Amino acid sequence: MSTNNLATLRRLFFYAFVVPFTLNLPASALRAELLARGQEVFSQADDLSSLSADAQQIQGQLEEFLAAQPASEDAQELQSLHAQIKQLAQSQRQLSAQEVQTLNVAIDSAISYMSTLPEDAVRSRNCSPAVIIRGLKVLNCRLINIGNTLRDINNNVNSLTSTVNNFINADTCDAITPIRSVPFTITESGKYCLAQDVTYTGSDAAITIAASNVNLNLANHNIILPEGSTATAIAMDGVNEVTIENDSLRAANPTSIEETETTGIRIANSTDITVKNVNIDNLNTGIFITNSRGLRVLRSYFHNITFRAVDAFSSDDIAIEDSKFVNDLAFTDAGTAGVRFNSTSGKLDTPSCRNIRISDCQFSGTSLGGPIQLRFVDGALVENTTVSVDNEIFNANLLQGGSPNTGATGTDLDNALTANSIIIRNSSFKSQNVANGTDGIVLAAGSGALIENVVVDVNSPQDPTGNPPYLNGALHISASDQPCLTVSGVDVPVCGNPNAVYSNVRVSNSSFRNQGFYGVIISSGTRNVVIEECIISRNNRGIRIVGSTFVTLKNSSIEDNTTNGVLLSASLPSLPISDNPNQTFLSSSNNTIVDNRVSGNGGEGIFVTGVLFPAGSTEQQPQGTSATANANVIEHNIVTSNKLNGIRLGANTSNNSVRENLVIGHLFSAAAVGILNQGPASGAFAGNEFTYNEAHSNITNYSAGIAAIVVQGDPALAGQNINLGA
C-alpha cells in the first residue's frame, strides 16, 4: 500500500474518532466527512500497481544487458531467464490489480457501514462513543487483513528481484559460474547458478560445496535423483557462509524407507548456512545437519518426505521459519514429514541441539513418528505454528537401558529427554483419525518449559473400558525414561528415576481435548508445574496427577470428560508391577487444586487417592505397601453436575485440606454425594480436613458422606460445612 494511502487511512481514523468529541460536528457532517475520505482512498488505491515496478525495472535492465552481449551460450541462458521474468512480471501485475479491487470492496463496505453510525447514534445517545469505536474496530480488522495480503505480494516481488539481481549486477557472465551437468564440485568462493534441470545417477552428491562464502542459486531448476537412488543432491562439510536458494530437489517417485536413502541437502561441521525458497519433494530426508551451527531455513516447502524433513544432530542455532511440511504418503514404514533434533549418540552426556526456533510453520498430512521431535534440546521455541496430522501408528515404544526413545510413535510434539527452556506458544496441534496411544505434546526429563496459547486436539477414539492402559495425553509431562518400575506387558515406564524429574513447567491459556485417554497427565516424579486458565475437555479423563509434587491446577475448566475430571493419585495403582528391587512407589503430595470449574464429567469430579498394594500384585513388593496422597489442597473450586461424587478422597490419603468448595447437583447416581470420604477400610486415612464447604442439591444427604470423618476425626469438623442438605 502506498504512503499516500496510509496517510489517508490515518486521516480517516482521525475524523471518525476526533470529530465527534472535539469539534462536536452534527451527525450529517461527520457522515459526509467520512464518505469524502473514503472516496479519496478509492481514488488512490490504484497506486498498488507500483508493487510490480521492481519487476519492470529488472526487465528493462535485462534488455539493456542482453543487447550488449554476444550471442553466446551465456546470453542464450539469460534470454531464457528474461522470458521467465516477463511472464512472472505480467502475473504480478494481474495479481496487484486483483488486490486493488479487493481493497476497494473491503474499504467501501467498511465506510458504508460507518456512514450509518452517526444517524443511529443520534437516534440513541447523540453520537455515542461506543458506537463510533465499534465501527472503528470493524474497519481496523478489515484493513489489517488487506495489509497482510499486500505484504505477501510485496514478498513475491522481492523474491523475484533477488532471483535475477545476481545476473544484472555481474560485470560479465563469467562472474557467475553456470552449472550445466553433475556431479559438480565447488572449490572456490563465489556465485554459482544451475543452468538447467539435471538428473544425478551416481551414489555420492550431485553438487558438492567444498568452499566457504558460496551462493548457489538453482534458478528454479531441478536436481533429480532417480528411483532407487541413495544419493544426496547437495552436500557440504567444513564450510561456512553458504546460501542455497530458489531450487527444487526431488526424487522421481516417492519411496519407502527401506527402498532409498536419498537426501536433499547434507550439512556437516559447517556454520552459517541459509536455505531459502527451496522445494524438496519425494526424498527420504530433506535436510540432514550434524555438528554444525547457524542453519536457517526460510520460506521452503517439504513434500512427501518419507523419513525426516529436517534431521539435526548435535547442532546449535537452528531456525526454521515460514515453511510448510506436507506429507500425502501412505507408507506404513514412513517416519515423519517433520523435523527432529537429537544427539549424535543418543546419550544424556553428549552434546545436544541448542537454541532451536520453529516459527510460522505448517505441518500437515500423514506423520507416523511426530511432526516435531525435540530430543536432547537445550533451548527451543515453537511459535505461530500449526500441526494437522493424520496418524495411523500408535503406542509408545520405550527402548530399555536409558535410550531416549520415550516418545510415542504418532506423537504430535515429542520433547523426549529435553534439557532446558522449551517454549511452545501461539500454536495448534491437531491430529486426524488417530488410534489409541497417541500423545499430543510430550515433555520428559528436563527443566524449564512454557506452554501458552496452544490448542491440542488429538481426536483419538475414547478407550471403551474407561480405564486407559497407556499413559498418553494431549499434554504429557513425565520424568526420565529410565524406569524404576516396569509395567508387565506395557512398554512404558511406571515411574521415572526418582532422582531425575521434569520440573518448572508453566502451562497457560491453552486447550487440551479429544484425547482417548487423558487430556493432561503429569506423572513419574514431576514437580513444580503450574497449569492455569486452561480448558481440559472431551477427553476420556480430564487431568491425572500421578506420583508428582508441587503441581498447581488453577483457574481452569475441566468439563465434559468421559470419566473423572481431576484424578490425583500415587503411582499407578491399577497396573501389576514387576522388577521393583528398590520397592519404590511415588506419592502425590503438596499439590494445589484451586479456583477451578469441574463440571459435567462422567465420573468423579475431583478424586484424590493413594494406593495399598494387596497380595499378588507385585513380584518383589511386600503385601500392604502403600503410597499416599497427602498434604494436598483443594480449595475454592466449583464442582457441579458430575456423574458420580463431586469430591472424593479415597484410600491412603492423609492431611489433605478440602476447603470452601461449592459442590452442586450430583444427581445422576443413587450413590453420589457432594463430598465422599472413602474411609480407612482400604488403607491409612487420617488428618484430612473438610471445612466451610457448600454441598447441596446432591442425591444423598451430605452428612452420610462424612460418616468416616465423624468416626476417625473430630466430629466438629462436620459442622464446619454449611448447607449440608440434599
Q: Dump the DSSP string for 665-713.
A: ---SSTT--SEEE--GGGS-EE--EEES-EEES-SS-HHHHTHHHHHHS
Based on the fold, state whether residues 229 and 157 are members of the same structural domain.
no
CA 183 to chain centre: 39
Domain boundary among the residues 272, 300, 322 is at: 272
In Å, the largest CA–CA distance within the chain is 105
Residues paired with residue 657 on neighbouring β-strands, in sequence order: 633, 689
Based on the fold, state whether residues 148 and 238 are members of the same structural domain.
no
pLDDT at 549: 86
**In terms of residue numbers, what domain contains 177?**
172-272
Based on the fold, state whether residues 56 and 179 are members of the same structural domain.
no
* Number of domains making up the chain: 2
Based on the fold, state whether residues 128 and 40 are members of the same structural domain.
yes
In a domain, 189, yes or no: yes
Q: Output the DSSP codes for 471-483.
A: --EEEEEE--SSB
pLDDT at 383: 87
pLDDT < 70 positions in the chain: 1-175, 252-260, 328-337, 343-351, 366-370, 375-376, 389-421, 432-438, 444-446, 460-471, 479-502, 524, 571-586, 611-627, 667-673, 678-726
For residues 720 and 361, give the distance between their C-alpha atoms in angstroms, rounded to a whole number: 55
Based on the fold, state whether residues 96 and 182 are members of the same structural domain.
no
For residues 247 and 219, give the distance between their C-alpha atoms in angstroms, rounded to a whole number: 6
pLDDT at 398: 23
In a domain, 209, yes or no: yes
Provide φ and ψ at 294, rounded to 5°.
Answer: 85, 45
In a domain, 58, yes or no: yes
Express each pLDDT in 251-270 by its tens digit: 765 554 444 578 999 999 99
Based on the fold, state whether residues 102 and 248 are members of the same structural domain.
no
Based on the fold, state whether residues 45 and 88 are members of the same structural domain.
yes
Domain boundary among the residues 254, 272, 290 is at: 272
- From residue 362, alpha-carbon distances to 386, 411, 428 in Å are 5, 16, 10
Burial bucket for residue 72 (CB in 10 Å: 0-12, 13-18, 19+):
exposed
Based on the fold, state whether residues 125 and 160 are members of the same structural domain.
yes
Provide φ and ψ at 292, rounded to 5°.
Answer: -130, 175
In a domain, 109, yes or no: yes
Based on the fold, state whether residues 30 and 118 are members of the same structural domain.
yes
- Return the amino acid letter for 375: R
In a domain, 630, yes or no: no
8 Å CB contact between 199 and 229: no
Express each pLDDT in 575-607 by its tens digit: 333 333 334 446 788 899 999 999 999 999 999
Provide φ and ψ at 9, rounded to 5°.
Answer: -65, -35
For residues 592 and 242, give the distance between their C-alpha atoms in angstroms, rounded to a whole number: 52
Based on the fold, state whether residues 120 and 254 are members of the same structural domain.
no
For residues 470 and 487, give the distance between their C-alpha atoms in angstroms, rounded to a whole number: 10
In a domain, 464, yes or no: no
8 Å CB contact between 59 and 99: no
Residues paired with residue 589 on neighbouring β-strands, in sequence order: 549, 630
pLDDT at 272: 96
Based on the fold, state whether residues 215 and 268 are members of the same structural domain.
yes
* Angle 431-432-438 from CA coordinates, rounded to 5°: 55
Cis amide prior to 464 (ω within 30 degrees)? no
Provide φ and ψ at 613, rounded to 5°.
Answer: -85, 115
In a domain, 207, yes or no: yes
Based on the fold, state whether residues 123 and 254 are members of the same structural domain.
no
pTM higher than 0.95, yes or no?
no
In a domain, 417, yes or no: no
Domain boundary among the residues 212, 246, 272 is at: 272
